[in-house]
Structure 1
Amino acid sequence: HKQCTSYWRGKKVGGKMEVVVSASAGVLEALLPKLAKMLTDEYKLHKGAKEGVQYIRDELESMEAALAKVSEVPPDLLDKQVKLWATKVRKMSYNIEDTIDSFMVSSSGSSTACCCVGGKSLLPRTYKARGDIAAEIERIKKEVEEVSKRRERYKVDSIVAPAPSASDPRLLALYEDEAKLVGIDQSREEIIKLLSMEGEGEGASEQKLKLISIVGPGGMGKTTLANAVYQKLEGKFECTAFVSVSLQPNMKNILSSILRQVTSKIKDDEVDNDKNKRVRRQESQKHYGNTETWSEKEIIDKIRHALEKRRYLILIDDIWDEKPWKLIKCVLAENKLGNKVIMTTRNVDVARSCCSSDKVDGIVHELQPLSDCDSEQLFYYKIFGNYGCPAELKVVSQKILEKCEGWPLGIIAIASLLANKPTQTKDQWCSVYNSISTGLENNHGVKDMRLILSLSYRDMPLQLRACLLYLSIFPEDQIIGRDDLIRRWIAEDLVRGRQDDNLYELGDKYFNELINRSMIQPTDVDAFGRAQACKVHDLVLEFITFLSAEEDFVTILNGQQPFPPQPDSIHRLSLRNSKGEHGIPQATKRLPHVRTLFVSSRANSMPPLSIFPVLRVLELEQCTRRNIRGVEILVHLRYLRLSQAYHYYYDVCIKLPEEIGNLQFLQTLDLKEARIKELPSTVVHLRLFTGFHVAG
């Protein structure tokens, strides 16, 4: 498709971005199956320990239900007590899971020599004896009891403040002066042409209902474009209606709105100066305006009656799934008068589904980013008005626009950030450029951008949210392979299914779902339309990085943030600073809950692996003999990827330790970008484990 997008150049409504509680529920989803597994005969727990595990499981199931409930509430309506309680549950759940994992490793390694090096056990001493886990279960039980009491004490399940939600930042786009819209003319004419309005002539009376579904990420300008087309065409139709569906629609209110709009125009057209007709119109409008006691069927029948002999145009904005569309479709009377429906959505699957009906002639139209020229025009107008950009800011402004990649919402957000600076200097602009995608900025424009994206995030299932947040561990502009990403998700237990499910196939569905929801961008698309890799838009990365930090999901050390005051809250760690040390204080002897460690090639150094006792995923982009030392003691490790950047003055092969065969849970060993002359003979032991994969 040709470029088809637009956005307004005015100010945006402020929005408040709060911490959400979905990560807590996601951790519990991974933990509960492990608790169930501990109750099986495989682990031979004492009766008291089994009863303790059962109690813990029952309480956590109840907590999961409460968290799932509040995770659907808009963030600005959540009480602070709910967020504090969710944070406590999340931390407790991570700790419990690490305890259980260590016990499971101990149990599986008790009858095999593969967890020993030189006769010395690699397992934590705490879990050697089966009695130790009984004492630990008792401790956990008491902690769970306290958290449960806190939930009851503060009535967490019922605390949802009745405060009104912030105004939708998309609303102003509907009322913006058309003269201030960027790139609107070509885009609007493109949609009108697809609707086949021009040149229909007499054949319009025999035409099937035409539907065009405009699809694209949040903030791409779908509503603005659809509204511009609607305003241009509405005068040519007898009945028109514009409704917004949104994430949690009240379908009865939406149907009532359609009824009021389509009947209002009919009455305006048909009434004359006759006093009796005016009275009848007023009475009828009053009657249609009070539909609270009507059933949905009654409203649908009234709409169909109004439309059955008239030509109509209906705009359905911001539809999230198929259910609302199936109900709205019932009102669309088939009269072959050349009726038109415009729909906007963020989800490609929803767009295709709505267009596949036998009742409509549907077209899916995917929005493309703004052109370089329009991006520049929008950016400069927001900051400087009708004045041009100063010459000294031209170069850095082009770098910023490259980050935005033609995404109108991102351009507006960054421009708002810069426009609010007291002075416009090159150093300030460079600082903003360097902060993009780090989640550090927090002005109103950036908050609005996060608010729009949070709608897409809240629409996801809990497991898909976790898979999206995991992407914040990668540096910006990184191409992420499909297979590699899915194996990481599996290693982290982010992909979970029934016992007979193929986890890779399930992870593949998650990958495609994120593409269809416009949260990741497909790359390396093959001849069959299958993306072999993906990348994350820099400003989407900014959003998930911010969210990951709020939820203690991913911690990034890149020289800009201090080391977290609570090392126990670090669960996934990305080291990517380009200067100085790795950012972890030398006095740190243990990071007990880090599951993933990603060391970018930009990091000059890294800590010893011995401080990460429960590490599951390890990637070293600049692997050396020194920083691979100790990998054999990481008994929880499931995924290991080593790579080396080639330098003409540094071409040393690395050597895997002989004891690597002791990593009994390793599923993936990726060496395709590492310089290794030979593998240790013990690597053959790794073939014993289900799902093992070696790349290279």
Structure 2
Amino acid sequence: IWSISAWDVLNSVLPENDLGSRVLITTCISDVAKCCSTRPIDFIHQMEPLSKEESKTLFHEAKRPAENELLKMCGGMPLAILIAAGRKSAGLAEPEIRERRILSTSDQCSTSDGMRMLLRMSYDELPAPLKSCLVYLGVFPEYYTIKKDRLIRLWIAEGFFLGRHEENLWRTGESYFNELICRRLIQPVFGYEDGQAVGCVVHGVILDFIKTLSTEGNFATTSADMRSGLTPWYLIPRFSFDCCSKEDEAGKLLSVTLHLSSMRTLQVCGRAGWTTLLTYPKVRKGKPALRTFKFLRVLDVEDNGILRSHHLKGIGGLILLRYLGLRGAAIHELPGEIGKLEL
């Protein structure tokens, strides 16, 4: 758990009884740990960094040869060791070890200079298309399980890599997905049938780093950014709704309407986000919401159970649209105007 507010949400649904159940919480933030342990019987176990030998063991378990300088740079932090092992797995030469302050044993969160440096090195070594694929993960909410097929389709739709045939594009997308797993930048989610990865999640520390890259490069903006007060003054190329209340979302959305008019990608990851679009000012004048976003090239509303056919009104006016993701949406009939779109 990364915040006190997240614990408050979780704690609100835990039953109060004397049945002897236990709740185990992990966090790297001391204030969160104290907030989770308010009763006399609660206990906080302070995790110590791995020893040098334990670090070597974990490094070897990732099937990578250990080197003392690289392990020293990891500072005993398991996530850092796995990322370093992922860099080794790609056959990369080790960076020159310069005199610098690396991970502190008491500071192992995303603000750690050493962790940021390791992530930055891992990112800088990626080819340009794979960099875009990685940063794109920042449009998904924290702890969100991202389906592999959906992610690859979105990468292709965004044009992050090129190919002459759809089959070649798909193979490239799969290779990039596997590369990110190999580098430990994403964590695979496995299926039940053949043991193959069917999706992924992004560790909170890595997601924080990705969002920093996204903000620096004006790559994408999420509704969570707006709720935290990071409303941009520039035009937004990609916008992602996460799952939150309509009331919370509407006020923030109305404050950035001018910035959304030229967005090229719109993604909805929660049930509440889509209906909030209906509060867009021009809709009140009788203009369909979608027609307002005339520069859209990618519209992804997969797994949005609240979406209905009438919400797609105006889609025929999106002449630049190249990708429409509707899997898992409660749509039983497509509007006739969808035939106006170019295949």
- Shorter-chain-normalised TM-score: which range? 0.5 to 0.7
Q: How far apart, CA to CA, are the structure 1 residues paired with 2:66 and 2:316?
A: 52
| Deviations 1:53-75, CA, capped at 9 Å, x for gaps | xxxxxxxxxxxxxxxxxxxxxxx
Q: Which runs of 4+ in 1 moved over 6 A?
A: 219-222
| Deviations 1:614-665, CA, capped at 9 Å, x for gaps | 21221232413453222222122222223668xxxxxx86542112122223
| Deviations 1:551-582, CA, capped at 9 Å, x for gaps | 0101112322354222x3x1110122435244
User: Of 605, 623, 626, which aligns to 2:276?
Assistant: 605
Query: Under a length normalisation based on structure 2, what TM-score does the superposition of the two structures give?
Result: 0.63
**Residues 613, 634 of structure 1: 8 Å contact kept:** yes
1:346 Cα deviation from its structure 2 partner: 2.7
**Unpaired segments ≥5 residues, structure 1:** 1-179, 196-210, 227-317, 321-343, 355-378, 383-410, 415-444, 646-651, 666-696
Q: How far apart, CA to CA, are the structure 2 residues paired with 1:644 and 1:497?
A: 28
Could you tell me which amino acid in structure 1 is paired with residue 299 of structure 2? L
Q: Is it true that 1:595 corresponds to 2:264 in the alignment?
A: yes
- Counterpart of 1:657 in structure 2 is 335
- Counterpart of 1:533 in structure 2 is 199
Evaluate the alpha carbon distance shift between residue 186 and residue 504 of structure 1 in structure 2; reply closer, same or farther with a 3 A threshold.
same
Identity score, percent: 32
**Residues 245, 272 of structure 2: 8 Å contact kept:** yes
**Residues 623, 644 of structure 1: 8 Å contact kept:** no
Q: How far apart, CA to CA, are the structure 1 residues paired with 2:162 and 2:129?
A: 8
**Residues 85, 183 of structure 2: 8 Å contact kept:** no
1:590 Cα deviation from its structure 2 partner: 7.7
State the SS of the aligned residue for 1:532: strand
Q: How far apart, CA to CA, are the structure 1 residues paired with 2:170 and 2:290?
A: 28
Evaluate the alpha carbon distance shift between residue 191 and residue 590 of structure 1 in structure 2; reply closer, same or farther with a 3 A threshold.
closer
**Residues 309, 335 of structure 2: 8 Å contact kept:** no
Alignment of 1:86-97 (within 5 A): none
User: Of 314, 318, 323, which aligns to 1:630?
Assistant: 314
- Counterpart of 2:109 in structure 1 is 413
Could you tell me which amino acid in structure 2 is paired with residue 610 of structure 1? R
Q: How far apart, CA to CA, are the structure 1 residues paired with 2:256 and 2:300?
A: 23
State the SS of the aligned residue for 1:627: helix
**Residues 56, 71 of structure 2: 8 Å contact kept:** no
Query: Under a length normalisation based on structure 1, what TM-score does the superposition of the two structures give?
Result: 0.33
- Counterpart of 2:229 in structure 1 is 561
Could you tell me which amino acid in structure 2 is paired with residue 470 of structure 1? Y
Evaluate the alpha carbon distance shift between residue 189 and residue 468 of structure 1 in structure 2; reply closer, same or farther with a 3 A threshold.
closer
- Counterpart of 1:347 in structure 2 is 87
1:345 Cα deviation from its structure 2 partner: 3.5
User: Of 209, 213, 219, which aligns to 2:65?
Assistant: 213
**Residues 413, 448 of structure 1: 8 Å contact kept:** no
**Unpaired segments ≥5 residues, structure 2:** 1-46, 94-103, 281-288
Q: Is it true that 1:518 corresponds to 2:184 in the alignment?
A: yes
Evaluate the alpha carbon distance shift between residue 657 and residue 618 of structure 1 in structure 2; reply closer, same or farther with a 3 A threshold.
same
Could you tell me which amino acid in structure 2 is paired with residue 519 of structure 1? L
**Residues 615, 636 of structure 1: 8 Å contact kept:** yes
1:450 Cα deviation from its structure 2 partner: 2.8
Alignment of 1:233-252 (within 5 A): none
**Residues 479, 533 of structure 1: 8 Å contact kept:** yes
Evaluate the alpha carbon distance shift between residue 181 and residue 491 of structure 1 in structure 2; reply closer, same or farther with a 3 A threshold.
same
1:499 Cα deviation from its structure 2 partner: 7.1
State the SS of the aligned residue for 1:523: strand
1:494 Cα deviation from its structure 2 partner: 0.8
**Residues 463, 494 of structure 1: 8 Å contact kept:** yes
1:458 Cα deviation from its structure 2 partner: 0.4
Could you tell me which amino acid in structure 1 is paired with residue 89 of structure 2? D
Q: How far apart, CA to CA, are the structure 2 residues paired with 1:551 and 1:619?
A: 22
Larger Rg, first or second structure (1 or 2): 1
- Counterpart of 1:74 in structure 2 is none
1:465 Cα deviation from its structure 2 partner: 0.3
**Residues 87, 122 of structure 2: 8 Å contact kept:** no
Evaluate the alpha carbon distance shift between residue 494 and residue 212 of structure 1 in structure 2; reply closer, same or farther with a 3 A threshold.
closer
- Counterpart of 2:54 in structure 1 is 187
| Deviations 1:421-463, CA, capped at 9 Å, x for gaps | xxxxxxxxxxxxxxxxxxxxxxxx3555333211111010111
Q: How far apart, CA to CA, are the structure 2 residues paired with 1:189 and 1:514?
A: 23
- Counterpart of 2:99 in structure 1 is none
Q: CA RMSD in A?
A: 4.1
1:489 Cα deviation from its structure 2 partner: 0.7
**Residues 187, 201 of structure 2: 8 Å contact kept:** yes
Evaluate the alpha carbon distance shift between residue 220 and residue 529 of structure 1 in structure 2; reply closer, same or farther with a 3 A threshold.
farther
Q: How far apart, CA to CA, are the structure 1 residues paired with 2:218 and 2:323?
A: 21
Could you tell me which amino acid in structure 2 is paired with residue 505 of structure 1? R
